Each structure stands twice: as C-alpha cells, then as structure tokens.
Amino acid sequence: MSVIIGLLIGSVLGLTGAGGSIFAVPLLILLLDLPINDAIGIALGAVAVSALMGTISNWRAKYILWVPALTLGLGGALVAPIGKYLGSQLPATFLLVGFCALAFSIAGIMWRQAVSTPEKASVVRSSYLSEDDYIVPICRFTQSEQFDLSSRCVGALISCGLVVGLLSGLFGVGGGFLIVPALLYITQVSIRQAVATSLLIISIVGSSGFASFVVANPQLDWLLLLKVCAGGLIGMTIGRLVADNIVGVQLQKIFSLSLVTIATLTLFSQLTV
C-alpha cells in the first residue's frame, strides 16, 4: 500500500509539477493509520525525492531557472523547520482541520482556473507564453538573458519562499501550487519553465522540512519511507511520460474533485473516532 501511495505522489508531481504531497498526507493517514505529524514527515521526504528526480530530468532539458529557484528555495528552506516545529506543538485535530482547509482551498483554486482560464490549466504541455499572456514582472531579463537581481526582485522571491516554507513544514505540502503561479507573476518565464523550476524548489524546501522531522523523530520508519519513495520515483516517470497526452483542464478537474473527496474522508474518519 505504501508503494501505491508513492506512485500517486510521483504521478501527480510528474503530471502537474505540484500537488503530490497534498494527496500523500491524507492517504498515509487513511490507509496506513499514521498520526498526522508522522504522515507530514513521510510526505515531505517522499515529495523531496520525487521532485529531485524531476529536477534531474529538467536539468538536462535546460528548463530550470537556477537563480530564482535557489533564491526562493533557500528562503523556504530556512522557514520549513520552523513550520515543522510549530506543527508538532499544535493539537493533532487543529492541524488536521487546517490541512483539510488548505486542501479545499487548493481544490477550489484549481477548479476555478480550469473553468475560467483553461489555457493555463495545461501546465505541463505548455511551451512558451504568447505576448498577450505576459504581465509586468518584478524580475526582468537583461539583454544578456540573465536575471536582473534588483532588491525588489530578490525580496519578492524570498518572501514567497518564506510562505512556501512555512506551509511546507506545517502541513507537509511541497508548495508547488503556490510556487508555479508565483514564478509566473514575479518573473518573466514560460509555464514550462515555472513548472520545471518549481520541482527544484520543492526538493530544496521539502528536504529542509524532512531533515527537521528526522532530528525530532529519530525512530522514523525508514522502510516505509523507502517504499513510498520507490513508488514516487516510478510514478514521477509515468506521469512525465503520459503528461503530453492528458488534457490539462480535465486533469485539473479530476485533481480537484479527488482532493476534496480524499480530504473529506480523512477529516470525517479522524473526527468521528
């Protein structure tokens, strides 16, 4: 069962560049009966490994934007352990309700995007944005195709990283649902570049949160983590292979409905115990 959960995490990451961990936490609770804090820790480790695999593939394709990735990622990595610590101090019920509220919000945002701006739902299959798709970015490219690292640009990237890191550590989410739109808004890049860059950021932030979890939980079930990670690596490969054949709008609607269903089942099962 743990391998199947990993398959789902990796597949969603491979298809969308985001969303794997938001499924992982409730599935680990529902199917393996893990406490929420343990589920969050395992999810962080599995998502970090799956995202790293995707990063290696994107590295070869030269889609990764290293400066924004490292700036935003390091900001998130600094805060993720704080989020993990705060989560360990909160009552399990409060943490569960907060996680499900976040899951419902993500599902709503993705459904609304699929309906109102279907052209942006095809995240993985998109190439480069047209001129009409560009907005005024905070970070601009110079004539030599390098990022112009103004204080405003760096500040925006770090601020986004702090939010992503806090949510990652607190709820065990990779943060891709925030990272991709943030990169599109802050920088002047294509959706494909944003998705590729988000995987590196997820790997950095997730690794930081997972490391803090290991320090606080030396009795971690490493075999369980290994099984979930193995499934995640296989799922990431499958997701990337079939991504071009899946319609983005349909994928996002299925993702949204599935997320609401799983989060509702998890909340109901835990609150009625």
pTM above 0.75?
yes
Domain count, the chain: 1
- Return the pLDDT at 256: 78
HSE of 86 in the Cβ direction (CA atoms, 13 Å)?
Answer: 16
Mean pLDDT across 25-42? 84
**Cα separation, 160 vs 61, whole angstroms:** 26
**Cα separation, 125 vs 101, whole angstroms:** 29
Dig out the tokens for 35 from the structure.
């406490």
Out of 2-16, 17-31, 164-178, the most confident range is 164-178
Q: Which domain holds residue 173?
A: 2-271
Dig out the tokens for 178 from the structure.
């925030």
**Cα separation, 74 vs 80, whole angstroms:** 10
Q: Confidence band (pLDDT; 50, 70, 90) for 149?
A: low
Dig out the tokens for 177 from the structure.
């649902």
Mean pLDDT across 57-69? 76
Statement: residue 140 has pLDDT above 60: yes
Please give the angle made by the CA atoms of 263, 22 and 59, to the nearest 5 degrees: 160
- Return the pLDDT at 126: 31
pLDDT in tens, 69-115: 888 889 889 998 898 888 888 888 888 888 888 888 878 877 877 77
Do the beta carbons of residue 232 and residue 9 sit within 8 Å? yes
